[in-house]
Amino acid sequence: MSDLPSAAFPTTAKVVVIGAGIVGNCVVGHLARLGWKDMVLIDKGPLPNPGGSTGHASNFIFPVDHNKEMALLGEQSANQYRDMNLSVDSGGIEVARTQDRMDELQRRMTSAKAWGIEAHLLTPAEVKELVPFVNEDVILGGFYCPTVSVVDSLETGTVMRKEAIETAGLQVFANTEVLDVVTDDTPRPNGRRKVTAVVTNKGTIETEHVVIACGVWSNRIAYMADTYIPLVPAVHQMADVGPMDILAETNNEIGYPIVRDMDTFCYERQSSGSMEVGSYGHRAILHHPDEIPSNEEAALSPTEMPFTPDDFDDQMETAIELMDMLGEAEIKYAINGLLSLTPDGMPCLGEIPDVENLWSAAAVWVKEGPGMGQVVAEWMTYGNPRVIDSHGADVARFYEQEKSDEHIWARAEESFIKTYGIVHPSEQWGDRRHLVEGPFRGRQEALGAEFFQARVWERPQWYNSNADLVERYGLSEREVEWDNRWWSPITVGEHLNLRENCGLIDLSAFQIYELEGPGAVEFADYLAVNKVDVPVGRSVYTPWLTPDGGFHSDLTMMRVGEETVRIVTGVFDGGRDEFWVRKHMPNDGSVTFRNLTMELSTLGLWGPHAPAVLAQLTDHDLSQVGSPYGSYLDATIAGVECKLFRISYVGDTGWEIYIPWDQATVVWDAILEAGKDHGIRATGGGVYSLSGRIEKGYRLVGAELESEYNPLEAGLARPKVKAANFIGREAYLAAREAGAEVQCVTLSVEDNTDSQGRKRYMQGGNEPILDMFGDRIIDSHGRASRVTTAGYAPSIGKVLLMGYVTNELAEPGTDLQVMYMNELYPCKVVGSGSAFDPEDTRLKS
């Protein structure tokens, strides 16, 4: 078989993949490996370089990333390139010009350890030994990674495509422009449409699946199906300068390690006798997809747009500072190269929520192409990616407010400069704030609320009006600025006050859905591991599994009527969970779906004085008899009809109170007034999401709970399995049969003093959990132990960590170590339960 365009244009196919860059080619290659047939790949450009971003990519992979998905898929991709012999390990060095960056390199050493990637810190002289043309006087040191690789992405695409042609009969059509993506718009109860055909300038293909792998054009193709892939084409400038003898003498495409000049947002990568200087330091230059020229209109290629030299001048100056020889080298080729940016910096993978069988494989760079092609292919095949949990890249994660051009552009503008930036795990966005907020903003601002944004929702993290608690509890700022950043000792004060008195927490960002109809309970049971068919007024805390039996979600479902079930999930998971419900719900009319999020506001009232406060506002029996743990009952609070949910995510007794949105401020005011003499304080998310949670060891989706782990390992499996069928049941039963190999545990840091005598506070950024020899702990699936959540536990006085360790290390009292900023700290396994009040006596009071 050849790689030539097939002769006759097909009228039907099982799947049409649009886009023959690195991503589209890897999608068809992986689909072929998974047994798919009857596939068509089309591109508007010529092959092998159709003119997208693959054609001008720098083609290097730095495998260390703080983000787990990006790091592991980068590594996965690098290995796939290696397997095809289309990769060279050039090594790469990130150099630091500032002390802040040196600290960041220590953090990168930590992430390298977490992912098992060889890395070394270098002195300036050691950098110069590896790269003799570096001016060592302008740097303080370097982070060297020998497995940084340079790949041939165009040839890899060709190889993958040919493999699919040979093994699966893939048909390929270059120079074929997509004119429309057709959907069946017949109204269905789940509110979704279905993709049916792709219209091109060569004919129409009726198809079951469509994959959009169109790089910078992806959103334009999505528009054709009346939906979105939130990304924007952005310029990354690069210039090829040379020739230079020292490079030419290597007789090699890449003979010296790539240098990333991190503090100037610039890189220097040898390309035979020349040096490619690339920049992420210029102003954000964004383009609408319609502004990208066609292949004919482009002098080079559509994504190699005319260079705007004024934007690059500062980069040249700093590049010459680092490598003097660049100053005399000629600029032979310079472009404004286009790549894709998204509102949150992560790719867009998976099924598009409002169109069945329309898949996104977009906002993927060459460094992750093969791995992400595999993710999408597995998702289409198994219903979930197997290679890695991909919740961060899931295209279903976006809320409506994140899909507008205004939002995408603003976020891309703000994030572009962070490409090489030092980004704190808790860093907040500057622009596009208060897109959605609870009904209490005015009141919260009056209390000096410090708002943190969860996707689009604003939530108070702490209240500056509680600054007096710092003195009351003898608290102080942290010694190291990094640990103190995006944090306040007020949050510790709020925590201790809640434990001593009580706190009122705004939970309006909860995403609340309602299933109704004769099939509602049965369908709810199909989603959940635990039995949802419970008496009216009871709730169920339950995992939702993927077909493979890993975590998709973990949330609460309430039986509010014979034929009505409510679902309450966290704000970070709203998009994905709503999609999951819609995707699986029956379309026979037996179930209807409603999103109640903007109808119901939620307040959390917890602490030993919570019952006394609430008793002043209701006649409802608040005892464990009238309001037992887990009950979800009607109650009138301060004259407002509410639902009273006896539950706690912070470890003290109290309630979540679900209030009609337009009356929520009445209840807020009444509770704070009634609580005055009981020490009540408006309390921020720092207590709810972190310090209260970690003291109790409560697991969180996206942290402890990911699709790579199952309920057994997470310690969330119940003694028995319900009779009713549910998604992932078979895999879950098999996992129970096999037994857990790892356990989710809490660890306490026994001494958090660093080598300079400063107290340090881990941030929960995948810090590696190591044995006493300093070695990584890896299970038979290759999963490494790492910190999934870290936080200071005010009621215990220690930093606590959560993470998975192998069974033999999960015994309480086991000594382990955690790495933070490239230093080791002793820690001890507390156990798989709560570090604070393990008997839950405070919940039962």
Partner 1 sequence: MKILVCVKRVPAPGAKINVTADGSDVDAAHLGFTTSPHEECAVEGAVQLVEEHSGEVTVLTLGPGESEEQLRYAASVGAAHGVLVEVDGNGWDPQRTAAALTTAIEGIEAERGRFDLILFGNESADAGGFQVGVRVARALGRPMVQGIKGIEASGDGSGEGTITARREIDGGFEVYEIPRPAVLGVMEGLNLPRYPTMKGRLASKKIEIAKLAGHADEGGQSRITLHRPEEAVSETVILGTGAEAAAAVVDVLDELGVL
- Does residue 495 come out as left (phi exceeding 0), alpha (psi in the -120 to 50 range) or beta? alpha
Considering only the stretches 99-107, 260-268, 313-321, 800-808, report the one whose residues sit in contact with partner 1 under the rule CB under 8 A: 313-321
Q: Using the rule CB under 8 A, give the single segment among 28-36, 151-159, 329-337, 707-715 that binds partner 1.
A: 329-337
Q: What is the DSSP letter of 686?
A: I
Which of 576, 584, 579 shows the shortest CA–CA distance to 523? 584
Alpha helices in 236-335 (DSSP H): 245-248, 313-322
The region of 228-236, 318-326, 765-773, 826-834 touching partner 1 under the rule CB under 8 A is 318-326
- 216 or 358: whose CB is closer to partner 1? 216
Chosen residue from 137, 245, 328, 562 binding partner 1 by CB under 8 A: 328
Question: Which residues, in sequence order, are bridge partners of residue 92?
Answer: 145, 258
Shortest CB 666 distance to partner 1, Å: 56
- As a dihedral over the C-alpha atoms of residue 835, residue 839, residue 843, residue 845, rounded to 10 degrees, the angle is -140
Measure the CA–CA gap between 572 and 455, rounded to whole angstroms: 6
Q: How far apart are CA 709 and CA 802, in angstroms?
A: 14
Q: Which residue from 191, 203, 327, 518 is in contact with partner 1, where contact means CB under 8 A?
A: 327
Q: To the nearest whole angstrom, how small is the minimum distance from the Cβ of residue 459 to partner 1?
A: 43
Nearer to partner 1 by C-beta: 2 or 756?
Answer: 2
Pairing between strand 798-806 and 815-820?
unpaired
**Which residue, 259 or 585, has its beta carbon nearer to partner 1?**
259
Q: Residues 270 to 299: which contact partner 1 by CB under 8 A? A: 291-294, 296-299
* Selected range binding partner 1 among 198-206, 302-310, 623-631, 694-702, rule: CB under 8 A: 302-310
Q: Are 445 and 293 contacting, i.e. CB atoms less than 8 angstroms apart?
A: no
- Residue 313 in contact with partner 1, rule: CB under 8 A: yes
Asked if residue 8 binds partner 1 (CB under 8 A), the reply is no
Bridge partner residues of 602 (DSSP): 658
- Residue 653 near residue 474, CB atoms below 8 Å: no
Interacting residues with partner 1 between 96 and 135 (CB under 8 A): none
Task: Using the minimum distance from each CB to partner 1, give the nearer residue, 298 or 467.
Answer: 298
Contacts with partner 1: how many residues (CB under 8 A)? 29
Distances, alpha carbon 322 to alpha carbons 319, 419, 658, 750, in Å: 5, 20, 59, 43
Candidate segments 132-140, 305-313, 411-419, 670-678, binder of partner 1 by CB under 8 A: 305-313
Nearest-approach distance from CB 26 to partner 1, in angstroms: 23
Return all residues near 81 (Cβ < 8 A) that are at least 6 apart: 61, 87, 149, 151, 152, 156, 370
Q: In this complex, which beta carbon is closest to partner 1, that of residue 275 or of residue 770?
A: 275
Among 199, 224, 331, 534, indicate the residue that binds partner 1 (CB under 8 A).
Answer: 331
Q: How far apart are CA 631 and CA 122, in angstroms?
A: 59
Nearest approach, Cβ of 729 to partner 1 (angstroms)? 50
Asked whether 393 and 371 are in contact (CB, 8 A), the reply is: no
Within residues 218-247, the interface with partner 1 by CB under 8 A covers 241
Residue 296 or 562 with smaller CB distance to partner 1: 296
Tokens of 251: 């007789």
Distance CA 61, CA 149 (A): 5
Asked if residues 68 and 393 have their Cβ atoms less than 8 Å apart, the reply is: no
Least distance from C-beta 383 to partner 1, angstroms?
Answer: 39
Of 234, 326, 524, 614, the one binding partner 1 by CB under 8 A: 326
Beta bridge partners of 558: 539, 566
Closer Cβ to partner 1, 319 or 600, answer by number: 319
Neighbours of 493 (CB within 10 A): 26
Query: Can you tell me which of 316, 341, 644, 830 binds partner 1, judged by CB under 8 A?
Result: 316
Of 301-309, 443-451, 574-582, 823-831: span binding partner 1 (CB under 8 A): 301-309
Positions that interact with partner 1 (CB under 8 A)? 2-4, 241, 291-294, 296-300, 305-307, 309, 313, 316-317, 319-320, 326-332
